[in-house]
Amino acid sequence: MEKLGRLVGRGYTCRPRNAEVLPPLRLAPAASSVRGRRAVVTAAVVPPSSVPAASSSAAVAAVCGTLAVQVHRRGGRHWRLRSCKGRTATAAANFVRGGSSSSSTRTTVNATVTPAHAADASSTADTAVRWSADEVRRAFIEFYKNKKDHDFVASSPVVPLNDPTLLFANAGMNQFKAIFMGQLEPNSPLQGVTRAVNSQKCIRAGGKHNDLDDVGRDVYHHTFFEMLGNWSFGDYFKEEAIDWAWELLTEVYGLSPDRLYASYFGGDESLGLPADFEARDFWLKHLPASRILPFGKGDNFWEMGAVGPCGPCSELHYDRIGGRDAAELVNADDPDVIEIWNLVFMQFYRDESGSLSSLPNQHIDTGMGLERVVSVLQDKRSNYDTDVFGPLLAALHDQVGGDTYQGRIGSEDRGLRDTAYRVIVDHARTLTLAVADGALPSNEGRGYVLRRILRRAVRYGRQKLDAPSGFFSKLVPTVVECLSAGYPDLSDAVCERVQAVLREEELAFDRTVDRGMQYFEGLKAELAKDGRNAVPGDQAFLLYDSLGFPIDLTQQMAEEAGLSVDMAGFEDAMEQQKERSREAQREQQALEQGVRPLQLVAEQTAWLDSQGITFTADEQKYEWDARPAACIKAIFSDDGFVQSTDEIEQSSSGTSVGIVLDSTSFYAEAGGQVGDVGGFSSEGGQQLFDVKVTQVFGGYVLHNGLKPAASLRVGDKVYCEVDYKHRRQVACNHTMTHALNWALREVLGEGVDQRGSLVTAEKLRFDFSYEANSGVSSTDLQKVELLVQDLISADVPVTWQTASLSQAQSITGLRAVAGEAYPDPVRVVTMGSSSVDSMLASPTEASWQQQSVEFCGGTHISRSSEAGSFVLLEEQGISKGVRRIVAVTSAAAKHAQEDGSRLRQELESLEAQSTVDEQALQELGKLFDAADFSAPLKADCRDRLGKLRKQLKKQQKKQKKGAKASAEEVAGAKATLLDATAAAREAGLTYCVVAIQGPGMDGKAFRNIISDSSLGDMAILVISKLDDGAAEVLASVPDSLTKGAGDWVASTLGPLGGKGGGSASFAQGSAKAAGTETLAKAELAAKEFFAAVG
């Protein structure tokens, strides 16, 4: 017998068949009895005001019976309402499992039917049944799309592809950032969009916005959430945003107006801004003044960052209890008075000095967390009690057994079982969506954040729920099932891929998690014994570095044990690593750029527009060997726009300058391709300005360089001189990146997708998805390399054409980067005998797969043969499921081929010898490691080197066996040893060190010699240098001296890099190579050791 109130969220859903006709009834918590398997009934049943508590049983039965609730659960167990009967204020609903009553299992749920005590009680009960998470999302989007004329813009990937400042998409406005910053490209698919609506996938774990540490401790923080939002880009503003928000909440969602409160910006003297009375007055149309509250900039002034667009905002708060004045509880962290929606009025821009100026266009950016508004609409005080998390909690319980999720927090959650439930289901959503959108667990950046999240979830499961190994990845299908209605890209194939990635990552941690927890338990006991309450920093670092425990996981375990962590000690070690990395990165950037590039943001692009300066015409960027004239329209520096470069102060390290022209032939950095370099000159050819970096911001191409010696002014005429030698090498590498993409698909299959690329004049780098744990085999790499080389030899044309996005997307075999937003129209590039024209005329032809065809806005060669050659230098894994290839073309490829051919010939020469020359083999191995040549050839050569090394070992063993000393050699060695010991005795020494040449002394001969009674109590060590360059060491120490022969041998072999062992009385060892100098050092070490201890 269980209370119905505890059964909510167990994975069952309720679907009233005629909810539009009859309001639902609520069954108050009561006992349920089931014969057979238990059914969980989550239907809320409250009689409407039209059915009073004193109604006849017939009236109650009629309402319940007509409602015809169907309760079902995944897995095929279905329940439907069969009958309802009861006395005046009590009714019993009879549910049947199965198809017919004769073959069904019945369950009866007894409950008290309570009347609706107020008008909004009925409304709340109604919404509790109707508003599933999917329905809430759908209603929001349809309201703004169909009723308010907004464009639906699908959620961007949760992994930002074009914003390096973000680890993850953490707000709905992220994908519209270019609009707010005034940097939207003219051909962006967002051009022309003035109103937008969507539900954005968001992750807040890492960086400025990080909810990771709070997840599990309460019932409303999440690392993954959905943000419902609507936007206006220079279209409507405050009044419409406020009116429509009110309409949606009260008329569509049916929330009681009496429970809603609005806040507005109350002004700030430090900002020089008055109160936003305009927003307040618009709210007065809907709310009494007592429920419209002013707050300061901390609550009601929104900023994108320290620099950028910002503005006042207005928040909507909801009182879960109702029937009271809750104004004092707004923004007071009361769990029953919560913010549900934030309306941002983006109207200012903050510059580096902190000053505010008005934006050229005013925007609206609103955000409402789906999980929170669902909890309101379903009348649940916890987000985890809604249907957002119910199926996941049920799926987790199916694996771990024991008590179901009870919703306990704080001190009530003994053993942290419910905390573990919350952590795991939240993290399952986060990881599923992140991996689905292209991120992968790794050791850096967002990949490391994901690895931390997974290990946090696994640790909770294993330690708090006693979950079986591999439990976490099994939650992925449930996550996909719950979210696929809102995000159709979560296909079965994606589900399988995500599950495979997380399964492997989870199993990798499984191998260390138990050991790590055991280590921590031992450490905890040791600290308790010593009376200490802090985990030492070096121990925390050991857990991190050796056992894979992220520091926050160690902190969490420490907190649960009542301990702290010495973070200063931990961070010392980490900071040293980070500083080394930062220094290397700074050096690399300085080497590559030679200049610090400037950037244009909203304030600057708006200023350019206000001056009547149009976007830079850059159509000539696809032309070759051109020298077009252009006019300087703007000169930009760290201090802003100037009329002349003479106004810019020169610094000792060089001052960055950015120049905007009316037109340009320079290609600006985009799509993984570096920008052009070159310069501006006068009509007569005098060099005026060196262009080091070319970038584009909101349609304005900025040519970056150092302040020139010559004076340049706005309005000057200059001639663009692109470094076409540099451009041509970049183009060769870019075109061969396309060829590589095509070849990988040909060899490895359709599962290979581009994950990123970098094209420079020196090399090309291509990242792609590939699930094989061992990477791409050398055989497959050779096939890929040969395919690209054959394509170059075939001298096929490279053609391109601009086409509508929808038309281009229909071309069979077309390759595009997953999640990338392409412009419309889009540029299509193909390499092969068929042109883009013919593909567009018949896009479904299967033969198009036989040649490379991609979306691309970069620069390319006109025929494949211009690349000259292609060599695949390197293939490696960079994260789970993602591989990286580095390759070169043209002259660099020819050099690599020549090096590879030369080294292969040297290897063949070595292989042809009857015996292996050890020194030659070692030197050749070093040359192979240092040289850049074909990766598949290098793999083959390394295998052959390995065979030669094995051959050498056999050769050396054979030589050693055949190197037994002759009788004469043994006699000579004995005579040398006896003479040396006699001299040592005369010198008053108790030890003797002797170096001999050749195999005259082996273990057997040595034992025979030291058994001679004439040696007395003398410690003896012999160093024999063999003919093959190796050395052997033998030592004997009599018992009377009580010295260690083993330590003596070890000390002697130290300078030789050898190894040995034995007892205190007799020991021996050897070293592979011993030169004259190292032998002398070994002899000295032997003497110093025995002299020191003797």
Would you state the pLDDT for residue 1089?
86
Residue % of the chain over a pLDDT of 70: 83
Q: Which of 452, 7, 399, 423 is nearest to 219 (CA)?
A: 423
For the segment 551-610, what is each residue's pLDDT rounded down to a tens digit?
A: 777 887 888 888 999 888 888 867 765 555 544 544 454 445 567 788 887 778 888 988
pLDDT at 302 over 70: yes
Q: What is the pLDDT of residues 1016-1059, one digit of tens each?
A: 788 999 998 876 677 889 999 888 776 788 889 989 998 888 88
Cα-flanking dihedrals φ and ψ of residue 60, to 5°? -65, -45
Helix, strand counts (H, E) of the chain: 28, 37
* 963 band by pLDDT with thresholds 50, 70 and 90: low
Determine the pLDDT at residue 79. 37
Residue 391, pLDDT score = 96
pLDDT band at 88 (very low <50, low <70, confident <90, very high): very low
Q: What strands lie across the sheet with 1066-1071, from one edge to the other?
A: 991-997, 1019-1025, 1031-1036, 1066-1071, 1059-1062
What's the CA gap between 660 and 663, in Å, rounded? 9
Q: Which amino acid, 687?
A: Q
Tokens of 819: 């999640």
Q: What is the pLDDT of residue 525?
A: 86
Q: How confident is the model at residue 655 (pLDDT cuts 50, 70, 90)?
A: confident
Q: Which residues contact 92 (CB under 8 A, 6 or more apart)?
A: 84, 85, 86, 108, 109, 110, 111
- Given a cut of 80, whether residue 189 has pLDDT beyond it is yes
Tell me how long the chain is.
1094
pLDDT reading at 1063 higher than 70: yes
Q: Which residue has the tokens 């076409």?
A: 724
- Of 514, 506, 561, 516, which Cα lies nearest the Cα of 540? 516
Note the Cα 201 to chain centre separation in Å: 15
Beta-carbon contacts of 1056 under 8 Å, excluding residues fewer than 6 positions away, are 1031, 1071, 1073, 1074, 1078, 1079, 1082
Q: Which of 814, 817, 816, 820 is nearest to 852 (CA)?
A: 814
pLDDT at 705 over 60: yes
Q: Average pLDDT, stretch 785-793?
A: 97
C-alpha to C-alpha distance for 553 and 544, rounded to whole angstroms? 9
Give the pLDDT of residue 680: 97
pLDDT at 977: 85
When mean pLDDT is compared across 404-408, 601-605, 897-901, the lowest value belongs to: 601-605
Strands (E), 891-1013: 991-997
Strands 678-681 and 717-722, sheet pairing: antiparallel
DSSP assignments along 56-124, one per residue? -HHHHHHHHHHH-EEEEETTTEEEEEEEEE-SSSEEEEEEEESSSGGGPEEEEEEEE-----SHHHHHH
Q: Tell me the one-letter amino acid at 226.
A: E
Three-point CA angle 104, 107, 109, nearest 5°: 155
In the prediction, which pLDDT does 378 show?
95
pLDDT tier at 207 (50, 70, 90 boundaries)?
low
Please give the pLDDT value at position 117. 29
Q: Which amino acid is at 193?
A: V
- In 191-323, the DSSP E strands lie at 195-203, 224-233, 260-265, 292-295, 301-303, 308-319
DSSP assignment of 742-767: HHHHHHH-TT--EEEEEE-SS-EEEE
pLDDT for 637: 93
Q: How does the average pLDDT of the chain come out, rounded? A: 82
Most confident region among 84-93, 609-618, 646-655 by mean pLDDT: 609-618
> What type of residue is 99?
G
The number of beta carbons lying within 10 Å of the beta carbon of residue 189 is 14
Q: Which amino acid is at 807?
A: Q
The DSSP 8-state label assigned to residue 251 in this structure reads I
CA–CA distance, 415 with 946 (Å, rounded to integer)? 55
Residue 686: CB atoms within 10 A of its CB come to: 10
Whether the Cβ atoms of residue 369 and residue 137 lie closer than 8 Å to each other: no
CA 176, CA 199: separation in Å to the nearest integer? 13
User: Are residues 696 and 670 in contact, defined by beta-carbon separation less than 8 angstroms?
Assistant: yes
Q: For residue 228, which of 292, 172, 147 has the smallest C-alpha distance? A: 172
Q: Which two tokens stand for residue 684?
A: 């007569």
Mean pLDDT in residue range 755-763 = 92
Confidence of residue 967 (pLDDT cuts 50, 70, 90): confident
Q: Contact 887/912 with Cβ under 8 angstroms?
A: no
How far is it, in rounded angstroms, from Cα 1087 to Cα 156?
74
Rounded-to-integer distance, Cα 902 and Cα 888, Å: 18
- At position 948, the amino acid (one-letter code) is L
Task: Indicate the SS3 state at residue 496.
Answer: helix
- Classify the phi-psi angles of 343: left when phi > 0, otherwise alpha if psi is within -120 to 50, otherwise beta: beta
Beta bridge partner(s), residue 1068 = 1034, 1061
Q: Return the pLDDT at 573.
A: 64
The residue written with tokens 């030369």 in the block is 902
For the cut 50, the answer to whether the pLDDT of residue 449 exceeds it is: yes
Q: What's the CA gap between 778 and 765, in Å, rounded?
A: 18
Phi-psi region of 148 (alpha: psi -120 to 50; beta: other; left: phi over 0): alpha
φ, ψ for residue 245 (rounded to 5)? -65, -45
Q: Rounded to whole angstroms, how far apart are CA atoms 471 and 450?
A: 17
Residues 94, 110: Cα–Cα separation, whole Å? 9
* Torsion angle of C-alpha atoms 1055, 1057, 1059, 1065, degrees rounded to 10: 0
pLDDT given for residue 510 in this prediction: 77
- Identify whether the C-beta of residue 856 lies closer than 8 Å to the C-beta of residue 622: no
pLDDT of residue 577: 58
- Of 26-30, 944-948, 1010-1014, minimum mean pLDDT range: 26-30
- Whether the CB-CB separation of 293 and 262 falls below 8 Å is answered with yes
Give the pLDDT band of residue 947 (cuts 50, 70, 90). very high
Q: CA-CA distances (angstroms) from residue 16 to 20, 26, 71, 154, 710?
A: 9, 12, 9, 30, 79
Burial class (CB in 10 A: 0-12, 13-18, 19+), 1011: exposed
Say which amino acid occupies 130.
R
- In the predicted model, is pLDDT for residue 237 greater than 50? yes
- Band the pLDDT of 56: cuts 50, 70, 90: very low
In the chain, the percentage of residues whose pLDDT exceeds 90 is: 48
Section 294-313 average pLDDT: 88
d(CA 203, CA 557): 24
Q: What's the confidence (pLDDT) of residue 106?
A: 38
Q: Is it the case that residue 21 has pLDDT exceeding 80?
A: no
Q: Does the pLDDT of residue 726 top 50, yes or no?
A: yes
pTM here? 0.56
Strands 991-997 and 1019-1025: parallel
Name, in order, each residue with C-beta under 8 angstroms of 809's C-beta and a sequence gap of 6 or more. 816
Six-digit token pair at 476? 């992925």
Mean pLDDT of 755-771: 91
The answer to whether residues 210 and 167 touch, using CB atoms and an 8 Å cutoff, is no
Distance CA 53, CA 47 (A): 8
Cα dist. 386→12, 179, 373, 374, 427 in Å? 11, 35, 10, 7, 17
